Structure 1
Amino acid sequence: MEKPTFEGGYVDDEISLRDIWNLLRRNQWLIFLCVLLVTGGAAAYSYFAVPVYESATTIRIEEERANLPVLDILQELSSGSQVETEMEVLRSRTLAEDVVDSLNLQVEIIEPRGVSRAVLLDRLVAERWAPEGEFLIEPGGDAFRITDEETLESLGEVSERLPAALAGVTFTLTEAARDYPRIRVRVLPFDKAVTKLQKALSVSRPNRDAGIVTVRYESSDTLLVHEVPNRLAASFISRRQRIQKTEASSTVRFLEDQIDTLARQLAAAEERLVAFREEGQVVSIEAEANAQVTELARLQADRNAIDAERSALQELMDEIDREATTADPAGPSPYRRLLSFPTLLKNQSTSELLRSLTEVENQRSVLLQRRTMADDDVQQFTQRIRELEAQLRTVATTYLQGLTNQVQSYDQTLEQFAAQLEVIPQKQVQLARLEREEKVLSELFTLLQTRLKEAQIAQAVEDASIRVVDPAILPSEPIKPKTVLNIALGLILGMMLGVGLAFTREHMDDTVHTREDLVEATGGAPIMGMIPRIRQRGLRPSKTSAAANGASHLGERLVAGRDPRNPVSEAYRSLRTNITFSNPDRPPKTIVFTSPLPQDGKSTSAANLAITLAQQGTRVLLVDADLRRGVLNNVFDLPREPGLSDVITGQAKLSEALRVVDLGESGRMHFLPTGTLPPNPAELLGSERMKTLLRHLEEQFDAIILDSAPLTVVTDAAVLGTNAEGVLLVARANVTERGAIRYSVDQLKHVRAPILGVVLNDIDFRRDSRYSSSYGRYGYYYQYYYGDNGKKKK
């Protein structure tokens, strides 16, 4: 018997924009909830957060320009390294310590939140060694009581006139402090206060082409926030001016000492130079030396040119001699290559010999077309060629010897010039050394005099290269929290979180939803049918409705017989057509219905398909082959026994077990129940008696539909599938997992059961249209039939 097979098809894994849109629609409530939670959290944070203010001061820093143009260029290429250096100084711990000391930043207000320290405390002084602690200040009559919050020890009283006596910290209260029921003060260690200040400070350069630096400070203290950057800038400028004055004073003393020493060295160098010129009567040795060096260079160049020509001609003659020993007597003369040497061509005799050689070779070539080399006339031409070659070689050899003689003559002349240069007096070197010494000392003396004047000026004037452009002022509005920005970021982050969770949820969802999912899970099995969800009267559809309500509700799902106009009935008729045309020459007669898991709808699909076949006038037999928990007999309100198991074991005859089901206007069909539920269903279904029974039934009926057990639970369907002409695997949308489908297909392939295809059952087009846009086309007819409320139209 020929059994249908299928090959794995290609599944397109490319994600389109429509797929992403459908994914977002499926998870719209999850995304909305994430957006709502994150945005609400951002709004709550913005409402309860303590406002933070920012104030900034701008400082102009002029870069020092070098006197040398090259150094100016290098300084420009360094992208303002001096400004960057000063910015690092502004970030330094030393300046931060000065600010903490001067503004007593070790002391801060914890409660009431958002109130400036200057509003509550007055005449505040904090020493660097003050220990860490938190103190509670509460009204107690005319004065306020101070309590250590860690030890609960009373530390005395404080008021507008009575200062607090804490370890390393003293302060008084202002009149405004009486408006608050309690005040909490924290004293930080000096190091922590400095570190906290450095974190709250930011130093930036808004424009790299401008020498402007901005110092920003953030704090919840509305009054202190502008004092910190101003104090930092003042401390920075003061320190820089002190350092520059100290450097200038040191430079002046150093330059004065160096100038005295250099003046003595310059006078001695000038005296030595004058004495040398008078003693040696030196006027200009350079002119004589330069003339001889120029002539030596010219002679060397001429000698090199002639030697190069000689080498080239020698190499050419060697090649011609080698070719002459192996050349073909009847071929062209190798001495023709002398034509490539331009100097020989300038010689008239050489040119005439080469022309004669060419003419004689041409005449011999014409004669050789009619005669051989042994011919006398040819021999005469050959002899003439040899004579001309000998003359050419003699001329070339003579010319080569002349070039060699010229090279030797030049070598002798060069040796003479070299000897003359060697005897040039060493006094020129001595003169250059003395002049160089005097020049260097003179330039250094002038330079030091210039630097001394500059240092004296710098010592006398204030440094104007660094100054405050805009001092920090009291801020009018806080920079944090930014309510609108926080809410906007909350919306964006909430949406990103929701989308991320949606993608994660989809990635973790292993159930099938669309025909593409089913094709991928089965490895390319044909999709034989797409069955919509059956609306049960008086029940809300759910994933477990069939299991919860038993066979009675399964009976309501047999819509093919009771409602032929139902879209579900049309889907089963489409399934019938697809099965018929799966093999047009011989449609499968024996078909096994199974599913990966229980409650996937295999029994419903088997029964409805049997009804549609009966409506077509086909002699159809529906067999309940689920020998473990078959329920089809209850669906048709028929007894379970005798049935299939009884016929196989021989306890009943086939005629006794077969029942006829009257379908009314739809016709009738035959039904074979499970019979007595046996302890060994797999063995019975795989027995020879079962095979014989199926062959016998195929002779009596046009179509046999077998409802079998789920594949992932037991192997009954796989065993039964080997005896059938095809197996239909039923999967339930949104319920059946891909892994279960793959396992079921593998089970069938292992026993070589013929797989007709797959049926996707229980499709809710309104729900599942968010998984595939193609469901929308099916949904039009489904909605037309049922209406928007899911109820059947009259």
Structure 2
Amino acid sequence: MLQVNKPTSEINRDFAEADGSPSQSLTSYLDIIRRQFPTMVAIVSACVILALLYLFTAAPQFTSTATMVIDTRKVQLFQQQSVLGDIAIDSATVETQVEILKSENISLAVIRDLHLTEDPEFTAGGAGLFGAIVGSIAGLFGSGSELSEFELTRKALQRFESSRTIKRLGLTYVMQIGFTSGDPAKAARIANAIADAYIVDQLEAKYQATRRASVWLQDRIKELRTQASAAQKAVVDFKIANNIVDSGGRLMNEQQLAEVNSQLIMAHASTAEAKARLDRMNDIVKQDIPDANVTDALKNDTIVKLRGQYVDLASKESIWSTKYGRDHLAAVNLRTQMAEIRKNIQDELKRIQESYKSDYDIAQTREEAIKSSLANVVSESQLTNQAQIQLRELESNAQSYQAMYDNFLQRYMESVQQQSFPITEARVISAATTPLVKSYPKTLIILGVSLLGGLMLGLGAAVARELADKVFRTTSQVEEQLGTNCIAILPALNAVATKTAVTGKPGRKPLNPEPDLLRYVIDNPLSRFSEAVRSLKVAVDLNSIVRENRVLSVTSTLPNEGKSTLSTNLAQLIAHGGAKVILVDADLRNPSLSRALLPDAKAGLVDVVAQQAKLEDVLTVDHQTKLAILPAGTTSKLLHTNEILASKPMRDLVALLRTKYDYVVLDMPPMAPVVDVRVTSNYVDSYVFVVEWGQTKIDVVRHNLRGAPEIQHKLLGVVLNKADTKLLARYESYHGRYYYQKYYARYGYVE
């Protein structure tokens, strides 16, 4: 606060720079809560009081619940598959059953069974204080006529549906039925009645559907019986007319065709087999002596015996020829015997060949005969093809009618059985019982909601008030918005009853200033106000290191912000400290300081500048502080006060005052109404800008300073005046500790 001025160019910013760090943001919110804490406490208290009032006046409500399940494994002890078909239970099916439970059909059934139209809870107004008030108002302004049965039912239905809750538990097949009432026993009774009414409705719906299906099935069975009999008679008549004999489920010509075809296949195979044997025999006949494999294949004992003899003779002939030569008589005899055996083998083979040829001829003849018979059967079958097609059509129709008749007859028997033993898929798994604890209002929840709602409303109101509070309340606001120092914060002063006077030169009458306010630093030197003015004096002295600060101008944005009080007390404080100080009332448009300190003065600043009076003649010196006071003079007829303040005689007067006094304090007019302050920048060293705490708008101050760069350049700082010390502690805690005497009473500070 006592540091050298920061550059004033920051005043021209459209928005102050803000630190976007999370810690800074959290700190700003905590500051808002601290500043608006009473408002938040009031809102939270109001919400809690309203919640308590509601809890004390609301009638207690009790909720009883019953649970039902849609059993996918339904018991079918006395019935088979349903006539209408079983529908797979899925999520949509369960939701459908929930809507059925919510239907008016179920609700009206419960209302009728329990006679709820005669219950005042369902036909009168709502429960609790609010319901009693509504009922009284309805009684006062109502027609007085009794409600009809229909109106009572609709009113009871509306109240019934508002108290009933039906929902599905998660993704299960379980449905929960709840009912809320002021009577716990009644709540349990109605919840169970809803479950019972639903089961009865489901059974009745199935019974009616089955009964309608049975009636329709009876008519359909009669019709199908007639159609099936007619179709079977048509089949029999057609067979008689076309000489069609059915044997074993097949026609005679079809059986003959199949048998002849089978015989033909077998004959063809026999022919092929006989031909193969004949061809093989022809190949064997071409050999002189068949080998052993062929002999074994023929299985002829004669050939086998002859071949054995031939092999023995050949062996002996080979031995004799080797031993005695081929021309030996014994070898020749052996070869002769071998030739005889070969001839016998050939004769036997030819005999077998003739036998195979005979078998082959017989097989061919038989095959041809079967082919001829097949051709005859095929010819006969072709003649009956058209009749067979028509016969199949008639038989198909007869079978279809018979199957339909059997199916419908079975369904009819099942429907008759289901009428006697109807079964529903839903069953109660947990009946509703009398609740022991009220379900509404829930004290802790309502108090918690009211507290949370109050906190949210309070925080919202606090933020709204902060956003709407576009005035200066803290030193940080001054530094951020205006880019200059906040030199001091002056507490608000209350006028006291005692009167003081400023004594002037000998022979002059004592003057009566405003009570205490203009001499507060003299009458109360150990007050918080005086200490704040001292901090302003210290800032002036420290700033003298940078530039000369002997001519000080005190101004403000708007009138009545306390600039004259500050300028007077500052001048008196400096003068009381031993320095030579002169206080000049330069507010020529509204010289309130002159009227307060020197109301009888006839001449002043205006006369000295106009060279109509001497400086020594218009000055008044306070005998206690030795403060010299220069009043404004006669200003009632002045039109261009800015020209007077900007004139060369005014500059010369200020230069003269510099030579005679250590400090020259100028009480200037406010900047917003007039432009007089802007013309004094060429002879004023520093400006002290007074802003009323919590009253002057930020945008007004910024606008005026932005339009006066010459004032910005010489601006010493801002003084927040008329601060509420109790509220200030919520905006800047360290200022609050300062202005309260908790820490500074030991140094002699008083109120």
TM-score normalised by L of structure 2: 0.60
Q: Which has more helix, going by share of residues? A: 2
- Is residue 692 of structure 2 the alignment partner of residue 732 of structure 1? yes
Deviation at 1:87, TM superposition (A): 0.3
Kindly tell me: are residues 755 and 448 of structure 1, through their superposed partners in 2, closer, same or farther at Cα, counting changes over 3 Å?
farther
Deviations 1:425-465 (A, max 9, x none): xxxxxxxxx9xx99xx9xx9999999999877755543252
Partner residue in 2 for 1:529:
487
- Is the Cα contact below 8 Å between 2:586 and 2:632 reproduced in 1? yes
1:278-677 → structure 2 map (5 Å cutoff)? 461-520=421-480, 523-533=481-491, 551-559=514-522, 563=525, 568-582=529-543, 584-614=545-575, 619-633=580-594, 640-662=601-623, 664=625, 668-677=626-635
Deviation at 1:95, TM superposition (A): 1.7
Q: Which has more strand, going by share of residues? A: 1
SS at match of 2:708: helix
Kindly tell me: are residues 617 and 787 of structure 1, through their superposed partners in 2, closer, same or farther at Cα, counting changes over 3 Å?
closer
Deviation at 1:730, TM superposition (A): 0.7
Deviation at 1:693, TM superposition (A): 3.1
Equivalent residue in structure 2 for 1:7, among 5, 10, 22: 10
Deviation at 1:768, TM superposition (A): 0.9
Partner residue in 2 for 1:237:
199
Equivalent position amino acid for 1:470 in 2? S
Find the structure with the greater CA-based Rg.
2
Structure 1 distance, partners of 2:696, 2:199, is: 77
- Is the Cα contact below 8 Å between 2:59 and 2:127 reproduced in 1? no
SS at match of 1:551: coil
Partner residue in 2 for 1:298:
none
Kindly tell me: are residues 721 and 101 of structure 1, through their superposed partners in 2, closer, same or farther at Cα, counting changes over 3 Å?
farther
Structure 2 distance, partners of 1:591, 1:81, is: 87
SS at match of 2:473: coil
Deviation at 1:673, TM superposition (A): 1.5
Deviation at 1:669, TM superposition (A): 4.3
SS at match of 2:165: strand
Structure 1 distance, partners of 2:69, 2:465, is: 57
Deviation at 1:770, TM superposition (A): 1.0
- Is residue 175 of structure 2 the alignment partner of residue 213 of structure 1? yes
Partner residue in 1 for 2:164:
201
Kindly tell me: are residues 539 and 247 of structure 1, through their superposed partners in 2, closer, same or farther at Cα, counting changes over 3 Å?
farther
Partner residue in 1 for 2:328:
none
Partner residue in 2 for 1:326:
none
Partner residue in 1 for 2:290:
none
Structure 2 distance, partners of 1:194, 1:713, is: 72
Equivalent position amino acid for 1:94 in 2? N
Deviations 1:637-662 (A, max 9, x none): 68533211211233212332334445
Deviation at 1:86, TM superposition (A): 0.3
Gaps of 5+ in 2: 1-5, 75-86, 129-134, 235-245, 259-392, 499-511
Deviations 1:738-784 (A, max 9, x none): 2442343245349887433312234455531210234256458x544
Identity across matched positions, percent: 26
Equivalent position amino acid for 1:12 in 2? A
Equivalent position amino acid for 1:525 in 2? G
Partner residue in 2 for 1:775:
735
Deviations 1:657-712 (A, max 9, x none): 33444555xxx443322112333344433444434433444454444221112233
Deviation at 1:225, TM superposition (A): 3.0
Partner residue in 1 for 2:677:
717
- Is the Cα contact below 8 Å between 1:718 and 1:747 reproduced in 2? no
Kindly tell me: are residues 61 and 4 of structure 1, through their superposed partners in 2, closer, same or farther at Cα, counting changes over 3 Å?
closer
Deviation at 1:634, TM superposition (A): 6.6
Deviations 1:351-402 (A, max 9, x none): xxxxxxxxxxxxxxxxxxxxxxxxxxxxxxxxxxxxxxxxxxxxxxxxxxxx
Kindly tell me: are residues 723 and 42 of structure 1, through their superposed partners in 2, closer, same or farther at Cα, counting changes over 3 Å?
same
Structure 2 distance, partners of 1:198, 1:457, is: 37
SS at match of 2:582: strand
- Is the Cα contact below 8 Å between 2:65 and 2:178 reproduced in 1? yes
Structure 2 distance, partners of 1:224, 1:62, is: 28
Equivalent position amino acid for 1:239 in 2? D
- Is the Cα contact below 8 Å between 1:59 and 1:469 reproduced in 2? yes
- Is the Cα contact below 8 Å between 2:691 and 2:719 reproduced in 1? yes
Q: Is 81-90 or 711-720 further displaced after alignment?
A: 711-720
Structure 2 distance, partners of 1:630, 1:75, is: 98
- Is residue 112 of structure 2 the alignment partner of residue 106 of structure 1? no
SS at match of 2:18: coil
Deviations 1:395-416 (A, max 9, x none): xxxxxxxxxxxxxxxxxxxxxx
TM-score normalised by L of structure 1: 0.57
Partner residue in 2 for 1:37:
46
Equivalent position amino acid for 1:198 in 2? E
Deviation at 1:90, TM superposition (A): 0.5
- Is residue 717 of structure 2 the alignment partner of residue 757 of structure 1? yes
Structure 2 distance, partners of 1:149, 1:581, is: 80
Equivalent position amino acid for 2:721 in 1? N
Gaps of 5+ in 1: 66-73, 117-133, 136-146, 154-165, 170-186, 282-433, 541-548
Kindly tell me: are residues 639 and 52 of structure 1, through their superposed partners in 2, closer, same or farther at Cα, counting changes over 3 Å?
same
1:34-113 → structure 2 map (5 Å cutoff)? 34-63=43-72, 80-109=91-120
- Is the Cα contact below 8 Å between 1:510 and 1:737 reproduced in 2? yes
Deviations 1:276-321 (A, max 9, x none): xx8999xxxxxxxxxxxxxxxxxxxxxxxxxxxxxxxxxxxxxxxx
- Is the Cα contact below 8 Å between 2:585 and 2:666 reproduced in 1? yes
SS at match of 1:196: helix
Structure 2 distance, partners of 1:13, 1:274, is: 104
- Is the Cα contact below 8 Å between 1:765 and 1:778 reproduced in 2? no
- Is the Cα contact below 8 Å between 1:558 and 1:607 reproduced in 2? no
Structure 2 distance, partners of 1:631, 1:475, is: 79
Q: Give the length in aligned residue pairs.
A: 550
Deviation at 1:788, TM superposition (A): 12
Deviation at 1:239, TM superposition (A): 1.6
- Is the Cα contact below 8 Å between 1:528 and 1:578 reproduced in 2? no
Equivalent position amino acid for 2:115 in 1? N
SS at match of 1:552: coil
- Is the Cα contact below 8 Å between 1:114 and 1:220 reproduced in 2? no
Deviations 1:603-641 (A, max 9, x none): 232234334544676554321112244344576668533
- Is the Cα contact below 8 Å between 2:495 and 2:516 reproduced in 1? no
- Is the Cα contact below 8 Å between 2:557 and 2:672 reproduced in 1? yes
Structure 1 distance, partners of 2:747, 2:660, is: 46
Deviation at 1:75, TM superposition (A): 7.1
Equivalent position amino acid for 2:18 in 1? D
Structure 2 distance, partners of 1:499, 1:539, is: 42
SS at match of 1:761: strand
Structure 2 distance, partners of 1:148, 1:609, is: 73
Deviation at 1:482, TM superposition (A): 3.4
Larger relative contact order (C-alpha < 8 A, sep ≥ 6)? 2
